[in-house]
Structure 1
Amino acid sequence: MDKWTPSLVEARLAEAALVLKRLPEPRRQGYFSTWPEIVHSFADKVGQEPKPMRVLPSPQAISRMEETLTWTACLDPVDGKIVWMRAHGERWKTICWTVGLQRSAAHQHWLYGLCVISLRLNRRRFNRSLSKRKVIELAGGA
Structure 2
Amino acid sequence: MAQAASTLPGRPASRATPDPVPLLLREAADTLRRLPRGVAKPRLSSWPAVIRDSASLLMADGGARRPTPPSPQAIDRMDRTLAWLLACEEEERRLVWARAMGISWRRLEDMDGRSHVTLRKIVARGHDRIRAFLAADDKKKPVIRKNALHGLEKRL
Same fold (TM over 0.5): yes
- Partners of 1:19 and 1:12 lie apart in 2 by 10
Match of 2:12 in 1: none
**8 Å Cα contact 1:82/1:110 also seen in 2:** yes
- How far off is 1:30 after superposition? 8.4
Structure showing greater radius of gyration is 2
- Partners of 2:51 and 2:26 lie apart in 1 by 39
1:34 aligned partner, one-letter code: S
Identity of aligned residues (%): 30
Number of aligned residues:
120
The answer on 1:38 being equivalent to 2:35 is no
Question: Which stretches in structure 1 are left out of the alignment for 5+ residues?
Answer: 125-142
Distance change >3 Å, CA 45–CA 29, structure 1 → 2: closer
- Partners of 2:56 and 2:110 lie apart in 1 by 44
RMSD (Å) for aligned C-alpha atoms? 2.6
Match of 1:12 in 2: 24
Distance change >3 Å, CA 88–CA 47, structure 1 → 2: closer
Whose RCO is larger (CA < 8 A, sep 6+)?
1
SS of the residue 2:136 aligns to: coil
- How far off is 1:72 after superposition? 1.2
**8 Å Cα contact 2:95/2:122 also seen in 1:** yes
2:118 to 105, 109, 134: 105
Match of 1:80 in 2: 93
**8 Å Cα contact 1:6/1:118 also seen in 2:** no
- Partners of 2:130 and 2:71 lie apart in 1 by 25
> Which stretch of structure 1 is more off in the superposition, 22-31 or 101-110?
22-31
| Correspondence list, 1:1-142, <5 A | 7-28=19-40, 31-42=43-54, 44=56, 49-123=62-136
Match of 1:129 in 2: none
